[in-house]
Chains A and B, each alone.
Chain A
Amino acid sequence: MSGTWIDVVLDLVICLSLLIGTFFILSGSIGILRFPDVYARLHAATKSSTLGVAGIMIGAFFYLYAEYDIVSGKLLLAIVFALLTAPVSGHMIARAAYRSGVPLWEKSVKDDYYAEVQHKRQKQKQ
């Protein structure tokens, strides 16, 4: 702690990013609890939790920089990793849910994947 104003600004940035990350994680969890459908829940799960974990990792990165003068590449790598793997796992779960026959919400208006799946099944039978 050298005791200049840059430390104060850095502390405020840490507090702000931690609060933003916690808000996004909490709102994503409320979305998973309240949405009516698997396919709607995946929206809440992947996007907002990725943003929340990115905010908290940025807070931890700046805290390590302010406290130890360490530039920790692992925390930035964790952000990149969450950003890469969350859409992939969300897409795989959605495809598994559709192919194992989980129904859509009854107020859904459009189902473009249905014709594709029927076409593929007919091609497999021949």
Chain B
Amino acid sequence: MEQVLAFTSSLIEITTVLSIMGISISIIMLLYRAIAGPTNPDRAVALDTIGINLMALAGVIAILLVTTKFNDVILLIGILLFIGTVALAKFLEKGVIIERDVD
């Protein structure tokens, strides 16, 4: 029983390191699209997905470091990411973020 528990806890560590490697490769591939995307909406899509990958990376690091302090960080990244993406989309569409109707 003790051996099985030790085996599964080491399995969790190996899986966590594998997940960190996979998410890092994914962020590097998205960084290529964010720098060399043909148009500006391509860059916006890549930045949005980089933010979602950062949420996942914070969750995996919280497992690796055995702590509960990262839960607020995950929520904060999500909220700021949504506001940033909406502002970026409005800027791409109209050239301004906050519209003012004069008449």
Contacts and interface: CB of A to CB of B under 8 A. Distances in A.
Contacts, number: 171
A96 B92 contact: yes
Contact of A7 (B5, B18, B74): B5
A3 B53 contact: no
Interface residues of B, number: 55
A11 B85 CA distance: 36
B11 A33 contact: no
B68 A64 contact: yes
Contacts of B89: 89, 92-93, 95-96
A19 B19 contact: yes
Interface in A39-95: 41-42, 45, 49-50, 52-53, 56-57, 59-60, 63-64, 67-68, 70, 72, 74-75, 77-78, 81-82, 85-86, 88-90, 92-95
**Complex A-B, nearest 7 residue pairs according to Cβ-Cβ distance, in ascending order:** A97-B41, A11-B8, A29-B26, A96-B93, A92-B89, A74-B71, A22-B22
Interface of B: 1-2, 4-5, 8-9, 11-12, 15-16, 18-19, 22-23, 25-27, 29-30, 32-33, 39-42, 44-46, 48-49, 52-53, 55-56, 59-60, 62-63, 66, 68, 71-72, 74-75, 78-79, 81-82, 85-86, 88-90, 92-93
Interface of A: 1, 3, 7-8, 11-12, 14-15, 18-19, 21-23, 25-26, 28-30, 32-33, 38, 41-42, 45, 49-50, 52-53, 56-57, 59-60, 63-64, 67-68, 70, 72, 74-75, 77-78, 81-82, 85-86, 88-90, 92-97, 99-100, 102
